[in-house]
Amino acid sequence: MIDSEILEKEILNAVNSASDQDSLEKIRIAELGKKGRISLLMKELSNLSNEEKKEKGSKLNNLKNIITNSISEKKEKIENIELNKRLLKEKVDVTLPVKAQQAKTGKIHPVSQVMDEITEIFGSLGYQIEEGPDIETEHYNFNALNIPESHPARQMHDTFYLPDTNDKGEKLVLRTHTSPVQVRTMEKGEPPFKFISPGRTYRCDSDQTHTPMFHQIEGLVVDKDTHLGHLKWTLETFFKSFFEINTIEIKLRPSYFPFTEPSLEVDVLCDRSGSVLKVGHGSDWLEVAGAGMVHPEVLKSANIDSNKFQGFAFGLGVDRLAQLKYGIPDLRTFFNGDVRWLNHYGFSFLDIPTLSRGLRK
Ligand code: PHE
């Protein structure tokens, strides 16, 4: 029979030097398993005398307990070491910067951006939004706005005529301005009116400051005693908000539109001396809108009694305002569909520094 003390030392050494769960389990099986050394020694006890059985039996039991305990202690140690290793390896560094977005995202076109900004400003002033068709009848585009067939003002608009007429035999045009929505909307309801109408407009024209398709926002306010002072305040308030400046000087220049009387053109004071055009101060004037008091003939076209109601109208050039606010020199580039241009001048959905998301660059 092997000396139990030597055996104890040998096994405890082996347990101590085990470095992982697998080798520890191998030791357990080799010593304490069914066919393990200790188990075999236990079996051999049956051949001994009662006295020897007692003595050696208790020594073996003792040894078995010592080994069992040391294996479970070692097991716990190895588990702890392995856990710590995993914790170190699997740690997430929350301070790492987020990976640049892989997927390509689109940009908001400056026209859409500026449309949103303008709409939002007039929305906060209590204006409704109305829309009209891009393909318009001669009636709404001209006649109802006091521009009859023979009127020289028709030449002001280089109109795209459609080859076909509508089912009432009326000539059709691509609308040359958003003003037809004035009459269309007034016909539908009863005064007072206070709305804007954004949309696409078309004229046979193309150079650095004109494109065959462009955008306008029409404004109309009709009530019992709406006057020119209201128009001036509205335009000033709008331009201050749009250009994000506290003071603005505007000039109302006498002009002519058949559908307003008096008619005026609106200029804003600006500084063109530096590389960036600055609105609000300086010594230059820039035309930004057409406006005036609604002509009684226009109210008549919409069956509104011009003795009881009066109002003002204005038409803003959206693309022009986008050029001014965001410093985009050539209008034609707006509609070339060049993605590089859009990446440069477009707006990200996530840049939201102001109320209406416009970012002064
Ligand atoms: N419809 C005019 C244009 O396109 C602008 C305008 C609108 C002028 C409303 C006066 C009133 O030039």
Residues 204-213: tens digit of each pLDDT = 888 877 899 9
How confident is residue 316, by pLDDT bands cut at 50, 70 and 90? Answer: very high
What per-residue confidence (pLDDT) applies to 361? 42
Q: How many CA atoms lie within 13 A of 93 on its CB side?
A: 6
pLDDT digits (tens, 9 = 90+) for 177-192: 999 999 999 999 999 9
Write the pLDDT tens digit of every residue in 291-303: 999 999 999 999 9
- Map residue 219 onto helix, strand or coil: strand
For ligand 1, what atom is nearest to the CA of residue 177? 4
Rounded Cα distance, 160 and 346, in Å: 30
**Dihedral sign computed on CA atoms, order 271, 256, 216, 207:** negative
CB 301 within 8 A of CB 145: yes
CA of 55 to the centre of ligand 1 (A): 118
pLDDT for 2 equals 62
Output the pLDDT for position 358. 52
Ligand 1 center to residue 79 CA distance, Å? 82
Residues with CB under 6 A from ligand 1: 177, 179, 257, 260, 290-292, 313-315
The mean per-residue pLDDT over the stretch 128-135 comes to 97
pLDDT number for residue 223: 98
How far apart CA 231 and CA 235 sit, in angstroms, is 6
The two three-digit tokens of residue 319, written as one number: 């693309």
CB 352 within 8 A of CB 358: no
Atom of ligand 1 nearest to the CA of 314: 9
Q: Are 160 and 202 in contact (CB under 8 A)?
A: yes
| pLDDT over threshold 90, residue 278 | no
Query: Does residue 145 surpass a pLDDT of 80?
Result: yes
Percent of the chain with pLDDT over 70: 92
> Which protein residue has the closest C-alpha to ligand 1 atom 10?
291
How much is the pLDDT for 273? 79
Q: How far apart are CA 349 and CA 106, in angstroms?
A: 9
59-76 pLDDT per residue, tens: 889 989 999 999 999 999
What strands, in cross-sheet order, belong to the sheet with 161-165?
135-137, 171-174, 161-165
CA 204 to ligand 1 center in whole angstroms? 17
pLDDT of residue 319: 93
Q: What pLDDT, on a 0 to 100 scale, did the predictor assign at position 3?
A: 77
* Per-residue confidence (pLDDT) for residue 355, from 0 to 100: 47
Ligand 1 mean position to 108 CA, how many Å?
27
Closest-CA residue to 290 (of 262, 331, 324): 262
